[in-house]
Amino acid sequence: MVAIGIDLGTTYARVAVFQYGKVEIIPNEQGNRATPCFVAYTDSERLIGDAAKNQAAMNPKNTVFNIKRLIGRNCYDEKMFQDVKDWSAFDAAVVCARVKFDLDLKDEEKLLISPEEISSLVLIKMKEAAEAYLGTTVKDAVITVPAYFKDVQRQATKDAGAIAGLNVLRIINEPTAAALAYGLDENLKGERNVLIFDLGGGTFDVSIVTIKEDKLFEVRAAAGNTRLGGEDFDTRLVNHFAEEFEQKYEKDLRSSPQAMRRLRTAAEQSKLILSSSTEATIVLDALYEGVDFYTKISRARFEEMCDDLFHSTLDSVEKVLNDAKMDKSQIHDIILVGGSTRIPKVQSLLQTFFGGKSLNLFMSDEAVVNGAAIQAAILSGDKSSQIQGVSIVDVAPYLLEIETTGLVTTKLMERNTRIPYKRSIKFTTSSDNQPFVNIHVFEGEPASAKDINLLDNFLLYRLPLAPRGVPKIDVTFDVDVNGILNVTAQLISEKATKLRVRREDKIRLTLVEVVCLSDEAKEYAAEKEKERQRIAAHNQLKNYVLSIKQAADKAGNELDHSDKYLVLKKFKETIKWLDANTTTAEKEDYDYKLKELTKICSATLAKMQLSADGSGPQPSYCGKQSCNNVGGNYGGSAVKEVD
Confirm or reject binding of residue 9 to Mg ion (CB under 5 A): yes
Return the one option of ligand ADP, Mg ion, none that residue 271 interacts with (CB less than 5 to 8 A, by type). ligand ADP
Least distance in angstroms from the C-beta of 58 to ligand ADP: 21
Residue of minimal CB distance from ligand ADP? 230
Least distance in angstroms from the C-beta of 362 to ligand ADP: 13
Return the one option of Mg ion, ligand ADP, none that residue 205 interacts with (CB less than 5 to 8 A, by type). none
Q: Write out the DSSP string of 249-305.
A: HS--GGG-HHHHHHHHHHHHHHHHHHTTSSEEEEEEEEEETTEEEEEEEEHHHHHHH
Closer to ligand ADP at the Cβ: 201 or 397? 201
Distance between terminal CA atoms of the chain? 49
Closer to ligand ADP at the Cβ: 272 or 578? 272
Judging by DSSP bridges, how do beta strands 417-419 and 453-461 pair with one another?
A: unpaired
Taking CB under 6 A as the criterion, the residue among 9, 72, 616, 619 binding ligand ADP is 9
CA nearest to 468, candidates 412, 408, 405, 559: 405
Return the one option of ligand ADP, Mg ion, none that residue 339 interacts with (CB less than 5 to 8 A, by type). ligand ADP
Return the one option of Mg ion, ligand ADP, none that residue 393 interacts with (CB less than 5 to 8 A, by type). none
Confirm or reject binding of residue 10 to ligand ADP (CB under 6 A): yes
Catalytic machinery residues: 7, 68, 174, 198
Beta carbons within 10 angstroms of residue 212's beta carbon: 14
Closer to ligand ADP at the Cβ: 266 or 425? 266
Taking CB under 6 A as the criterion, the residue among 271, 299, 415, 549 binding ligand ADP is 271
Q: Can you give the C-alpha Rg of the chain in angstroms?
A: 27
Return the one option of ligand ADP, Mg ion, none that residue 440 interacts with (CB less than 5 to 8 A, by type). none
CA triple 312-316-317, angle to 5 deg = 110
The Cα 497–Cα 226 span in angstroms is: 40
Taking CB under 6 A as the criterion, the residue among 72, 161, 224, 230 binding ligand ADP is 230
| Residues in binding contact with ligand ADP, number by CB under 6 A | 21
Task: Scan residues 600-639 and list those touching Mg ion (CB under 5 A).
Answer: none
Q: Per-residue string for binding with Mg ion, 143-182, x by CB under 5 A?
A: ----------------------------------------
Return the one option of Mg ion, ligand ADP, none that residue 201 interacts with (CB less than 5 to 8 A, by type). ligand ADP
Q: Per-residue string for binding with ligand ADP, 350-369, x by CB under 6 A?
A: ---------------x----
Q: How many helices (H) and strands (E) does the chain have?
A: 15, 28
The Cα 552–Cα 604 span in angstroms is: 9
Confirm or reject binding of residue 339 to Mg ion (CB under 5 A): no
Q: Is 114 left (phi over 0), alpha (psi -120 to 50) or beta?
A: beta
Least distance in angstroms from the C-beta of 297 to ligand ADP: 13
Confirm or reject binding of residue 293 to ligand ADP (CB under 6 A): no
Least distance in angstroms from the C-beta of 634 to ligand ADP: 48
Return the one option of ligand ADP, Mg ion, none that residue 229 interacts with (CB less than 5 to 8 A, by type). ligand ADP
Closer to Mg ion at the Cβ: 183 or 200? 200
Least distance in angstroms from the C-beta of 337 to ligand ADP: 7
Taking CB under 6 A as the criterion, the residue among 69, 342, 542, 564 binding ligand ADP is 342
Instruction: Tell me how long the chain is.
Output: 643
Q: Write out the DSSP string of 303-369.
A: HHHTHHHHHHHHHHHHHHHHHTT--GGG--EEEEESGGGGSHHHHHHHHHHTTTPPPB-TTTTTHHH
The Cα 440–Cα 504 span in angstroms is: 10
| Residue 272 CB burial class (10 angstroms; 0-12, 13-18, ≥19) | middle
Closer to ligand ADP at the Cβ: 66 or 628? 66
Pair 254, 86: CB distance under 8 Å = no
Confirm or reject binding of residue 175 to ligand ADP (CB under 6 A): no
Taking CB under 6 A as the criterion, the residue among 151, 218, 268, 333 binding ligand ADP is 268
Pair 26, 130: CB distance under 8 Å = yes
Confirm or reject binding of residue 200 to Mg ion (CB under 5 A): yes
Task: Scan residues 250-309 and list those touching Mg ion (CB under 5 A).
Answer: none
Q: Which residues of 415-454 are buried (b: 16+ CB within 10 A; e: fewer)?
A: bbbebebeeebebbbbbeebebbbbbbbbbbeeeeeebbb
CA nearest to 72, candidates 3, 192, 157, 179: 157
Give the CA-trace dihedral at 169, 173, 174, 177, to 10 degrees.
-70
Q: Is 371 left (phi over 0), alpha (psi -120 to 50) or beta?
A: alpha
Phi, psi of 235, rounded to the nearest 5 degrees: -60, -40
The Cα 213–Cα 479 span in angstroms is: 28
The Cα 221–Cα 396 span in angstroms is: 8
Closer to ligand ADP at the Cβ: 365 or 401? 365
Phi, psi of 288, rounded to the nearest 5 degrees: -150, 130
Least distance in angstroms from the C-beta of 169 to ligand ADP: 20
Closer to ligand ADP at the Cβ: 204 or 442? 204
Task: Scan residues 178-217 and list those touching ligand ADP (CB under 6 A).
Answer: 200-203
Phi, psi of 573, rounded to the nearest 5 degrees: -55, -45
Confirm or reject binding of residue 371 to Mg ion (CB under 5 A): no
Taking CB under 6 A as the criterion, the residue among 70, 219, 343, 473 binding ligand ADP is 343
Closer to ligand ADP at the Cβ: 65 or 288? 65
Closer to ligand ADP at the Cβ: 166 or 346? 346
Confirm or reject binding of residue 49 to ligand ADP (CB under 6 A): no
Q: Per-residue string for binding with ligand ADP, 430-449, x by CB under 6 A?
A: --------------------
Taking CB under 6 A as the criterion, the residue among 99, 272, 387, 622 binding ligand ADP is 272
Question: Footprint of ligand ADP on this chain (CB under 6 A)?
Answer: 9-12, 200-203, 229-231, 268, 271-272, 275, 338-340, 342-343, 365
